[in-house]
Amino acid sequence: MTNVKDMLATYPADLGDIDRDKLIRCIEECIACAQTCTACADACLSESMVGELTKCIRTNADCADICTTTAAVLSRHTGYDANITRAIVQACAIACKACADECESHAGMHEHCRICAEACRRCEQACNDLLATLG
């Protein structure tokens, strides 16, 4: 996903002290995680034991929405508010951890849950890495 890097490079104002590589990685992982969670929730809905996957579906949907919002907030820099950025990135890391934990509990039976758990862990790590630079 070079668009994230390309768009940040064209931003006319100074981005400040933020670590660009970690910002880019976090945005990219949020976008990837949102897509994966959406697909996993849909795959869960197609399983014959869908009733047993209710929590997984809900967690997937919540994580996808939070990741999408986080990517959007991180992509906006005009009028930047560090407190809002920090809060949304923290929320994203928490949502990704919860979703990964839930999907891992189904990973032995559902490959889509294993793949989703991995995407959530990558996004959680990217969020935590970015948070470490935000102070």
What CATH code is carried by the domain that includes residue 114? 1.20.1270.360
Indicate whether 3 belongs to any domain.
no
At residue 30, the pLDDT reads 98
Tens digit of each residue's pLDDT (9 = 90 or more) over 45-64 = 999 989 999 999 999 999 99
Indicate whether 75 belongs to any domain.
yes
Q: Residue 86: exposed, middle, or buried by beta-carbon count in 10 A (0-12, 13-18, 19+)?
A: middle
Indicate whether 42 belongs to any domain.
yes
Indicate whether 121 belongs to any domain.
yes
Indicate whether 45 belongs to any domain.
yes
Boundaries of domain holding 118: 21-134
Find where tokens 């999907």 sit.
Answer: 103
Q: Confidence band (pLDDT; 50, 70, 90) for 78?
A: confident
Question: Comparing C-alpha atoms, which of 124, 98, 114, 100 is closest to residue 43?
Answer: 114
How many domains are there within the chain? 1
- Eight-class DSSP state of 13: S
Q: How many CB atoms lie within 10 A of CB 116?
A: 32
Indicate whether 130 belongs to any domain.
yes
SS3 105: coil
Indicate whether 123 belongs to any domain.
yes
Indicate whether 8 belongs to any domain.
no
